[in-house]
Amino acid sequence: MNMEVAIFAGGCFWCMEEAFERLPGIIEAISGYTGGWVENPTYGLVSAGETGHREAVKVIYDPSKISYERLLEVFWRNIDPTDPHGQFADRGEQYKTAIFYLNETQKGLAEESRRRLELSGIFGEPIATEILPAKDFYPAEDYHQGYYFRFETNYRHYKLYSGRLGFIKSVWEKNRHFRLFPERKHYWLGWQKPSNSELRRLLTPLQYRVTQLGDTEPAFKNEYWNNHGEGIYVDIVSGEPLFSSLDKYEGEAEMPSFTKPLEEWAVVEAGECGGFLCGREVKSRFARSHLGHVFDEETPTGKRYRINSASLRFIPREELRKYGYIAYERLFL
C-alpha cells in the first residue's frame, strides 16, 4: 500500500483524530504526543505541561486518494489558528497548534497554506500556528485512541462545551467557499461531497435541481447569462474552478457560455443528451455537478460550453484573494 505520514497539533487530539480519520484515503489517525524532550511521555506528564510535548495526531494516508494539501485544509478548518496559548477550553503549551513537517515539500506547502489563510482575512488576528520540524511521535494511551466513536456521547459533549464546535460553525459556515489550493487538480483528492440532505440545505431549489437532477434553467432568465464582469466561475457545490470571464463566448448566448474550461481537467463530458440540436452533457470533475452541455461550433477552440448559471458561483476579480483563488489573479494582470 502507498502510504505517507503527516503530523498535526490542533489542541485536543480526540477532536483532531475525528477530523481526519473519516476522510477517504486516510489509513489511520493516531493520537499522541510530540515536540518535547521526554521519551515515552504519559498523559499525566504531558497534561501537566512538564514534557514540552503537544497533543497531536499522526495521520497515515494514501496520497493517491487524498493529498497533503487537502489535509492542510482540514487542519485549518478544525482549529482556532489565532490562539497562541492553547485551544478553546484547553490551555497550556500542550494544546498549542502546530504543523510538524517531515520533509521540505511538506514545509513549503504548510507555509504556503498559512500565507494564503492570512491573505484571506478570514481571521482578524495574526495566525499563531507554528510550522516546525517533526520530532519523535509517541502514541497516546489506548483509551485515547478512537475516543470520538468509543465514547461518543462524552466526546460530543466535550466538543460542544469546550467551544470548538461553535467556533468552527461560526467561522466556516460563512466562509465555506474559501479554498486553499483550488488550482491544483490533486488538491481535490479526498474532497467529500455533502450528503443529499446537506445539499438541499446549502443550495437553492433551482441549484439543487440543476446540479443534482440535471434540469436546465430558462434561457435569458438566469443569473449570469449577461454577466460581463472580470473573474472566474466555480462549481456552486464544491468550489472547483471551472471557467474564466476571459473565455466567454462572444456571440449571443441565452446562458453563460465559454470556449474552454479554466483548467484542462476542470470538466468532463458525461455523454450525449436527447433531442434536436443537443450537445454533450458536461459535469464538474470532482463534485459531478451537472453543468450544461458542450457544442461543436466555430469558436477559437471549436467548442462552446453552454452552462447553467445555477451550477455556478461567480468570483469577481477583486475577490479572488478573499476566497483563496489567489493563483488566478495572474490571469487579469
- Residue spans of the domains in the chain: they are 4-188, 196-332
Percent of the chain with pLDDT over 90: 91
Q: Render pLDDT for 141-180 as a digit per residue (tens, 0 to 9).
A: 999 999 999 999 999 999 999 999 999 999 999 999 999 9
Cross-strand bridge partners of residue 233 = 243, 314
State the catalytic residue, choosing from 12, 15, 273, 278: 12
State the cell numbers at 265: 481537467
> Across the chain, what does the average pLDDT equal?
94
Q: Is the pLDDT of residue 274 over 90?
A: no
Residue type, 144: H
Query: What was the pLDDT predicted at 314?
Result: 98
pLDDT-derived band at 278, boundaries 50, 70, 90: low
Query: What was the pLDDT predicted at 277?
Result: 56
Query: Mean pLDDT, to the nearest integer, of 134-144?
Result: 96
CATH number for 4-188: choose from 3.40.50.300, 3.40.50.720, 3.40.50.1820, 3.30.1060.10: 3.30.1060.10
Cross-strand bridge partners of residue 160 = none
Please give the C-alpha separations between residue 254 and each of 208, 226, 248, in angstroms, as whole numbers: 20, 8, 13
Query: Mean pLDDT, to the nearest integer, of 50-61?
Result: 96
Domains 4-188 and 196-332 belong to one CATH topology: no
Query: What was the pLDDT predicted at 275?
Result: 53
- Clarify whether 273 is annotated catalytic: no
CA atoms in the 13 A half-sphere facing the CB of 27: 14
Is the CATH code 2.130.10.10 the one for domain 196-332?
no
CA atoms in the 13 A half-sphere facing the CB of 56: 29
Give SS3 for 202. Answer: helix
Q: Is the pLDDT of residue 225 over 80?
A: yes
Residue reference for cell 510530540 = 34
Stronger pLDDT, 250 or 194, i.e. the higher one: 194
Burial class (CB in 10 A: 0-12, 13-18, 19+), 121: exposed
pTM: 0.91
